Structure formats: structure tokens, C-alpha cells
């Protein structure tokens, strides 16, 4: 998992120290004790200390807790996955999206998986593997390009206003098609076996050594991304108790 700074109160000096150590921008995400009626949209890079502190104030007023990471650019993900696990079994269902997409889209139901894999974690074997059709991928690609353009407009807004928003559709896709199109291939390339093997090893560790230390849940979902030069990054593990 990436280094993290979770703030329970207003601590400008802690944010400044974290930014000095890991560099700007920092990615802002959020946590909460009780699910807000309208959840602010996180996963945004913030470029200045004033923007970071302003967004923290915005979140505290909405009873949310700011969570900072070094910025791992979501637009550079090569693969992103959502992995479904059960605490009483060893089968994992893996949903994959390719370059230019992110795992959050899978969790929120905003993307159709480009690849579906079923793995037996007791021995690491695959029992099922299928990929999206070219027609469906082209449709998903067009939808994602539109979403990326809105995301970039939202990032501009967050840095100018030091606020977040709850609805991406409120932002006009003002960036050029060429700019947003650059990182999204015209065809999906399924995960190479070497990269998939590393992923399954991580998921085996999560199933055998991690979920037992989390609050009890029958089902868990883990979100991971594969980034150039970073290998697999684990973002979150959610149980039945999570309410998005």
C-alpha cells in the first residue's frame, strides 16, 4: 500500500511535512465514521498546501476525514482490478480493466470488466478466464474518455476552489479529445501471465494473512492497480460493513 496520512484534525504542519517528504502533488482521498449523505469525490491530486488545507477544511465540515497519499497518477494505470474474496472459501473472482481505467470504476459500477478471472487460492490455479469483446471495449473506451475529460475538469476545480464535489456530471468535459485519448488503447491487451502470477500471489497473502485481522465479514473486495515502475499497488480492502 502507498504511504498514507490520515488526519483526525486540522494539522497544516503535518500536511507540509508529508508533502516535503513525498513531493507535490498529493492525492486526497477520504474516510468517515458514518457514511455521508452525499459523498465527496476523492482521488484528486492537489498541487499546493493551500489547496490541501482548504480541502481538509471542506471535508471536516462534512464529518469526513482527509487521507493523503503520494500522487500515483490514475491515468497511468496499466491494469486495475477488483478482487472478490470469501472468508469461508478459497476462490477469488478477479475483474480487470486496462490502461486508462481505474479500479474505482469497477467498484462503483461505472465500468464493464475487460477481463474476468476465477482463481483457486489454495494452489494459485485458474478455473476461468474471459475477455471483453472488441465491440464492448470500444463502447467502454468512448465512455471512459468522456469520464476522463470530466475528471480533468474536476481536478482543475478542486485545485482552484480548494473544495471537492459530489457529482462528476456537474463538470463540463472541457479538455481536448486528443489530451484525454492519449492513454487509452484502442484494443484491450489481457494481463501477461507474469504480472497475473504476481497478482495472485498478493491475493493469496490477503486471503491467508490479512482479512483475519479486519472486522468480521463474509465477503471482501480488494482494489489494486499495476503502475509502470511501481508493480502492484493495493489501495483498499472492503468488507460487508463498508457503505460507499
For 154-177, what is each residue's pLDDT tens digit? Answer: 999 999 999 999 998 888 876 554
Longest dimension (CA), the chain: 51
Same domain as 161, residue 116? no
Distance (Å, rounded) from C-alpha 76 to C-alpha 184?
9
Q: Grid coordinates in use for 223?
A: 482494489
pLDDT at residue 107 tops 60: yes
Same domain as 148, residue 91? no
pLDDT at residue 180 tops 70: no
- Within-domain flag for 244: no
- The whole domain housing 38 covers 5-71+139-180
Residue 93 has a pLDDT of: 96
* Count of other CB atoms within 10 angstroms of residue 97: 26
Q: Grid coordinates in use for 229?
A: 515502475
Using CA atoms of 156, 27, 222, 82 in order, give the dihedral in degrees to the nearest 10. 30
Tally of domains in the chain = 2
Region 206-232: what's the mean pLDDT?
A: 90
Strand order in the sheet with 125-131: 125-131, 115-120, 91-97, 79-86, 219-227, 231-239
Residue 219 has a pLDDT of: 93
Q: Residue 133: exposed, middle, or buried by beta-carbon count in 10 A (0-12, 13-18, 19+)?
A: exposed
Same domain as 111, residue 22? no
- Within-domain flag for 17: yes
pLDDT at residue 244 tops 70: no
Distance (Å, rounded) from C-alpha 71 to C-alpha 86?
31
Same domain as 116, residue 51? no
| pLDDT per residue as tens digits for the range 53-92 | 999 999 999 999 999 999 877 777 899 999 999 999 999 9
Same domain as 147, residue 64? yes
Q: Check: CB of residue 18 under 8 Å from CB of residue 11.
A: no
Same domain as 80, residue 38? no
Same domain as 83, residue 63? no
Task: Put residue 69 in one of left, alpha, beta given phi > 0 → left and psi -120 to 50 → alpha.
Answer: beta
Amino acid at each position: 500500500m502507498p504511504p498514507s496520512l490520515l488526519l483526525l484534525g486540522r494539522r497544516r504542519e503535518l500536511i507540509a511535512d508529508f508533502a516535503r517528504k513525498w513531493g507535490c502533488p498529493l492525492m486526497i482521498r477520504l474516510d468517515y465514521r458514518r457514511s455521508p449523505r452525499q459523498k465527496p469525490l476523492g482521488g484528486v491530486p492537489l498541487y499546493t498546501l493551500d489547496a490541501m488545507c482548504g480541502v481538509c477544511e471542506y471535508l471536516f465540515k462534512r464529518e469526513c476525514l482527509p487521507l493523503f497519499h503520494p500522487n500515483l497518477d490514475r491515468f497511468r494505470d496499466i491494469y486495475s482490478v477488483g478482487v472478490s474474496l470469501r472468508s469461508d472459501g478459497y476462490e477469488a473472482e478477479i475483474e480487470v480493466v486496462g490502461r486508462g481505467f481505474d479500479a474505482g470504476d469497477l467498484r462503483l459500477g461505472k465500468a464493464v470488466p475487460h477481463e474476468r478471472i476465477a482463481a483457486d487460492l489454495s494452489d494459485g490455479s485458474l478455473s476461468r478466464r474471459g475477455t471483453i469483446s472488441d465491440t464492448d471495449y470500444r463502447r467502454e473506451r468512448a465512455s471512459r474518455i468522456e469520464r476522463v475529460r470530466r475528471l480533468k475538469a474536476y481536478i482543475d476545480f478542486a485545485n482552484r476552489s480548494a473544495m471537492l464535489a459530489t457529482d462528476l456530471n456537474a463538470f463540463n468535459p472541457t479538455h481536448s479529445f486528443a489530451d484525454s485519448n492519449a492513454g487509452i488503447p484502442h484494443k484491450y491487451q489481457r494481463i501477461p501471465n507474469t504480472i497475473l502470477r504476481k497478482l495472485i500471489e498478493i491475493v493469496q497473502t490477503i486471503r491467508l494473512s490479512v482479512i483475519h485481522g479486519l472486522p468480521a465479514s463474509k465477503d471482501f473486495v480488494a482494489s489494486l492497480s499495476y503502475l509502470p515502475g511501481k508493480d502492484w499497488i493495493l489501495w483498499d480492502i472492503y468488507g460487508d460493513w463498508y457503505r460507499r
